[in-house]
Every structure is written in C-alpha cells, then in structure tokens.
Structure 1
Amino acid sequence: MLAVAAVDLLAGPEVGLLALFALGPAFACITGSVRRALLVGTVAFLLCLGIASFDGLLHTRRAAVALATVLGATAAAALAATVRRRFERELADIRSVAEAAQRTLLRPVPRQAGRMRIAVSYTSAASAARIGGDLYEVVPGPGGTTRVIVGDVQGKGLEAVETAAVVLGAFREAAPDEERLEDVGGRLERALNRRLTGEEFVTAVIAEVDGDHLVTLLNYGHPAPLIVRPDGDVAFADPPVAAPPLGLAALGPIRPSAYEISLTPGDQMLFYTDGVSEARDSGGVFYPLEHRAHLLRRADPDVALEAVRLDLVTHAAGPLGDDAAMLLLRYRDDAPELPD
C-alpha cells in the first residue's frame, strides 16, 4: 500500500492507482486474523482517502469507486478470514481425533521382547490426518514367544482405517491364545470375511519369535522382510510359495506355509509395507531398500529406523504416495557394538 501511495504521488492523478489500495486487505486475510484484515482495510481506506484528497479527486467518481472497492475488499477479507479460521479449528479438531484414533489403533509396541530389541516407524501419506491403512502390532504369544504382525490394507481413507482396526483387533485376540501361527491367520481371515466386500484385501506378514530367536513367518502376499547380518550381508526372507492376501483366500487353493528364519547375535529383521519399497523418486526409480541397509547399523534401533525414514522421504523428494510403516527386530544377544 505504501508502494501504491508513493507511485501515485510521483506519477500524478492521471495514472489512476487508487483502486490498488484494495490489495492490502485482500492479502491480509490469507494468514491474518479478522482483526488484522479490518485493521489493514482501515489503513487502506485512509490512505486512499488521503491520496484522493491530495490529487484533488475526492469528489470525483474515480475516488468514489476506489473507496467503495477498498470497503468491499475489506468486508470480503474479513469474511474470508472468518471462514479460514473456522476451517483451521475444524482441521485441528480432526487432527486431534486422528491422533487419538492412531494411539488406539497403533499402540506403542514393547521396546524389548526377550533379548530382541524392537523399533517402529509410521509415516502417513495423509499428512493432515496422520493415519492410514498400514498396521503393526507386537503381542506376547503362548509358551514365552512373541508374535508380530505388519500389514497393509488395500485403499486409503476411513475405510482402510476401519479394516486395519478389524485386523489388529482379531490379531490381539488370537495371537496370545492360538498355538499354531496358521490358526492365528485363520482367525484374521474369518474376521475380515465378515468385514470386507468385493475385492478388498489386506497384505500381511505374521511372525513368531521363540526363546532361541528362531523366527517363524507366515506371509499373506506382503513384501518379504529384509534380513541384515552384522557383516553387512542383506537378504529378503521370501516365502517358499506365494500366497494370496488376507480376504482373497477364496480365489485359490494356495494357503501360506509357515517358514523359519534363524537369527544370530547382531542380526536384524526389518518388516515394512509397500509404501517403503514402492516409493519413487522424480525419475520413477523405486527406493533401493536393500542398498540402504547400512543405515540400520546405528547402535540405537530407533535412531537407525529414523535414518531409514528420513532417507526414504529424501528419496521421494516430497510427500510419500502411500503410507509407510516399518518394524525392526534386532537380536542383541552378545551382539558386537554397531558403529554409527
């Protein structure tokens, strides 16, 4: 507004810049409050009135139109600021509800199971909601075992969250009681059949860690966990036979077969969702997870997992296209100190 006043004073009344004072209140409503919009509008009106008087245009049609324009822009700015503040409050309420739902749905997992250290990371593609269809859980199993699930619900939004809640609820109920891992998967399948319709499905890996740190896996069409050895060797724990996701068992006779992975001191097993493995950079290149395994060599597993998450976000160079969940198991029995 000061620039408009200066140019008008230098150029003279024939240039006709009075109406440009309306830009002040128009921009004030973008980030400011209603009071700020009205204050800026008042200043704009007084400047317009003063410049019109200085130019000898106070009683002309041009000045009347300019003053009316400033008043109209001020009223519109105040209204826009009111609506924006209301939407901001509603968004804040939605975020608080989403965070409460996430705390209920994705509860904090234990940081230790026997001598197995555990770390988790969750990055939602819907930044405003901070919650999505990826899921994870760690619960005690029968006979001193620990049971883990990491999964990904097809789709996004509230329906995906509801489906994730069904899976986690069924897992939390079945995992401590069922002796066989296949029976836990069967309970999840039956729970989903009561919830899902059409071709909806959930990919998941269910794991059981015993006292000797032998990991038994059951893979329902989910990306295979990544095994990282202390010497730097990396391998994917692929299932012997590919099986359909949860909710699509009726499409084929193949059911997932349990298979075992033996962990030794210093070994790590990273569970993740396809939001990690399928994240692309600007050139369409997928995130090279196996080549970023060295990031997990930090001494603190939480710090190691955060390093992978930050590297993933850097690779995507912007918001992720899908939710990304990771769960890290680190066998720390007599493990050598991992360098940072």
Structure 2
Amino acid sequence: MTVDRLLPTRDAEDLLDLTRTVADRELAPVAARHEREESYPEGLFAVLGEVGLLGLPYPEEEGGGGQPYEVYLQVLEELAARWAAVAVATSVHTLACFPVATYGSAEQRERWLPDMLEGRLIGGYSLSEPHAGSDAAAIVCKARPIADGYRITGTKAWITHGGKADFYALFARTGEGGRGISCFLAPGEAEGLAFGRPEAKMGLNAVPTTSAFWDGAVLDRDRLIGAEGQGLAIALSALDSGRLGIAACATGLAQAALDAAVEYANERTTFGRRIVDHQGLGFLLADMAAAVDSARATYLDAARRRDLGRPYSRQASVAKLIATDAAMKVTTDAVQVFGGAGYTREFPVERYMREAKIMQIFEGTNQIQRMVIARSFTHPEK
C-alpha cells in the first residue's frame, strides 16, 4: 500500500516517487533471496548513491541532497518497507557522515564530504565495544598520539557494514591517561585493522555486522574530527539523529508487515467469509494500523523539531521507543494473522518479525530511551 503522506513540497513528493520506483525495482525483488542466503548486495549502495539517496539531509553545496529530516526519514521508511537491512545500513551511513559534516574543518569537509554524500564512499559507525554498548563513555579503545598522528589499539563491536565500508566514524580514548574520547575518520583499509567474522544474527543478514580489531594502526593527524576530547559529545549528538533513522526504518518494516497481513486477510477465507470480515481479526488489523500511524507521527514530530532548530533529544528517544516497540508488536501480530502459514518461510512476515527485534536494541536500547526521557524531566533541554 502506498502511504498517503503529507509532504512539504512538490520536490519532496517527486523524491518519494523516485524512492518507491528505485526500491521496487532494485530492493524488493531480491531482498528475500539475499537475506535467506546471507549474501551482500554488491553494487546496490552505489546505485542508491547514483540516484542521490545517500546524502539527503546534508547541504547540496557539499554533495548532499539538501532535504529536511522530515523528508529524509520518509525516504528511509520507504526503503525499509522493501528491505530493512538496506534501510538500516543507509541510516548508519548517514550517521557516519555526521561528524565530518557537523564538526569537520572546512578542509576536511571539502576533501571527504562529496564522495561520502554522493555514495562513492560508504560509511560505518564504530562506537560500541564488547563491554561498552549503551554506555558509550565506557569505551577503552585507545588512540595514542605519535609524531605523525595517532596509533589505534583496541577492539570495536557491532559495526554495521563492518569489513565492507570505505570509512568508519571511529571513537577512541586520547589524552593523558586516556581520559578523553575523540572522533576520527578512519579508512576502511588500514594496515593494522582487521575484522571478525560476520555475526550470526537473527535477522538483517544481507549486510554484515562485525567486530574490528585495531592492532597499532596509524591514522594521520588530519583524521581527527573536531578537537581532542570532543568525541563523546559528537557521538551523543549524532545518536539523536541516528535514533530517528531507526524509528523510520522500524515504521517502514511495520508498514510492510501490516500490508502483508491486510492482503492475506482479504484473500483467506474461513467459515465461508474472508478472515478480514471477522470482527476479532478486523480489530487486530485496526490496532496494527493505529500503531504504524502513531509511530510515523512520533518520528515526524521529532524530525520537524530538528528541522526548525529546536531541541528534539527527548522526542527522538520517544520516536525510537514508540516506533520500534510498534514494529515488534505489528510484525508479531502479522504472523498471527497468517496463522500457521506465518510461521513458515513461504511468507515474509516471519522474517519481518525477526528483523523487528534488533530495532529495540541498537542505537540505544529502549530501556536507555526511557532513561533519556525520564532525565528530561529533571534536566530539561534548552
């Protein structure tokens, strides 16, 4: 089903039409096969970059699309409705571009941003560690200053596009005693950098998630983004935007599950009636639709605040919480609508259900989102 969207401009409507066309042609026909075979879609992100979908919320003069977040997130939702793994990787790429775009020097932006935003370089985000996931301040990976730059030592974990990305937004401890955290633009291929085997995941299997092992790799000094010790502030400000990306992906996934359930309920008959005509099933579908619409409304509210330059951290956490919980419930209910058939791999809803679970975990677990929301009552945003 095509979502009836309220878009701010005719250009935005055209962009969504383009997104649907590309997603229906390039994503939808091959998603199930790649997920089943756990095979990476080589060349696909280059296609998304060529049509301008990988740098949408960044300035046109630096290679981006110049789109408000309100529009960019709806593009992500359309991608996720066809293939959640690709949409999540697109969101992560946008997140990985954030440090250079927001904190990079004029020289750094000129040197790297066009290739990043136009999709010639694909990015990953390297913040988490084996014992530092939601608690970003607990990372121990070190960047020791040396004469010509920084020597990186440590292990990173849960990197979307790990081993495939061309660059990583890397966060490591710097300064005397490693007290501060700094941000680096790390190349995907560096001597002393190795990646682990892709994680055997519950879902989103077409795009690898790996650990990274930094064994004394040297980064040039101009790879430092922002000032030494500014990394945690960069990471946390980026995550507000990243949470909105995941909220949009979760909403798209839930919309796909709802569409599949509605189609099946209109075709399947029991006791001489379509199952959609049974009140119990109809009410279930109504609750699913209400959850999807509510999720979309929350992420759009946060995005519009961001576009207006207003505080939106609490609203980003609300959107991530509401949208990902909705995706988990809606995909589970979609399996229920299909009955026994929904538990088989003949239909996509079992995959949607598996893919929804991680949405409640990455970019800060939903328990962390509740902490952020609760903290806003005693530490209001300015």
The two structures have a TM-score, normalised by structure 1, of: 0.27
Select the structure that is richer in helix: 2
Relative to the length of structure 2, the TM-score reads: 0.25
Q: Which has the larger radius of gyration?
A: 1
